[in-house]
Amino acid sequence: MTDAIDVAEFQAEAAAWLATNASDAPPDYGAICPPELIERGIAWQRRIRDAGYAGIHWPTEYGGRGLSVEHNGVWLLECARAGVPPVLNMVGLVLAGGAIQRYGTDEQKQQHLAASLDADHVWCQLFSEPGSGSDLASLSTRAVRDGDRYIVNGQKVWCSGGRYSNWGILMARTKPDGPKHDGISFILCPMDLPGIEIRPLKQMTGESEFDEVFFTDVELPADHLLGPEHGGWGVGMAVLTSERGHIGTAVISMQRRLDQMMRLAAGRTLDPSARQEIARLVSVASAYKAMAQRQGPVASTAASLMKLGITQMSFDAAMLRGDLAGADGLLTGTDASGMLAAPGGRIAGGTSEVQRNIIGERLLGLPREPRSETRTP
């Protein structure tokens, strides 16, 4: 394939390739590959790498195509249409990859970027803690500088992919005093270091999608620091907010949700209240689809409206499916597991409370929530 290709031609090429190869892909699992699909996910990442669809907008010296974010956007769109994952995992190809390109040394770029595209380096995110989820800046995991190494102690939780990742992006406190946003560093962490313990978290669905990670006197080389020491908050926030999304993928996702809402009545005799609830859910899904079509290619605070509303809509739909299933919905099966999993949507990806704060402060112009900037040691 030639790199001198316009967006429309590239999109047609990608669609044709996916039509031939999508049957070999795992199902579209979203941002994070589930543990049970990791082997298929790695094989798929290497397949798209060989075809030239990994790191489409990354520089060629790091294994990418050197094309534009628009080229990458149509790849995401065609993958959404085909129902396949566009990358192995978002943490490695978006967060870690983006951070290393922007802040990494030449040595870090050479060590990690091509290896991440090749799925030789698989990444997890070591941000959230038991006491620092939505308020990430209050994290307490310590990384104490000791010559050419950091000594790390603490605990991370809700880590996706910790069991199968060989690298992690770690945010830890390197300066314990002062404002809580200051003194955090962003460090690239090998997951096989002595003193790192990974424990699967058992969910009420019976699954273990996430892990908790414990650090006990872990000796982490100081040259794994990414960006300025004590400046990791800026590194993390720049990466989380700079990646451009694509309008088409949101519209396709909402259309699929809308189709699911409309199928709830299939093969059932419904009472008037159930019919009314299905009609309400279909109307809500249609409204969010329209909002997705209006949102531009760059993420904005409107994304908080989408996240808050779709989370609640999905919760209501899961509860309705359970009601329609009757007594069977209290046992096992997709209806029962859907009800058990639904509350987690209000936490994952930014809690509903955080989304309401963003909407109130940034969209409605309400006063900011009172908060203390001084961290208690």
**Amino acid letter, 39:** E
243 as an active site residue: the answer is yes
Closest CA to 190 of 233, 163, 224, 161: 224
Indicate the pairing of strand 149-160 with strand 142-146: antiparallel
Q: Quote the CA–CA distance of 361 and 365 in Å, as a whole number.
A: 5
Place of tokens 């314990």: 176
Closest CA to 264 of 343, 345, 320: 320
Closest CA to 138 of 179, 102, 109: 179
3 state SS of 202? coil
Q: What are the φ/ψ torsions at residue 117 (nearest 5 degrees)?
A: -65, -35
Q: Quote the CA–CA distance of 134 and 144 in Å, as a whole number.
A: 24
Place of tokens 């109307």: 283
Active-site hit among 243, 277, 369, 373: 243
Q: Quote the CA–CA distance of 288 and 258 in Å, as a whole number.
A: 9
Q: Residue length, the chain?
A: 377
Q: Identify the helix (H) or strand (E) that includes residue 144.
A: strand 142-146
Catalytic sites, residue numbers? 243
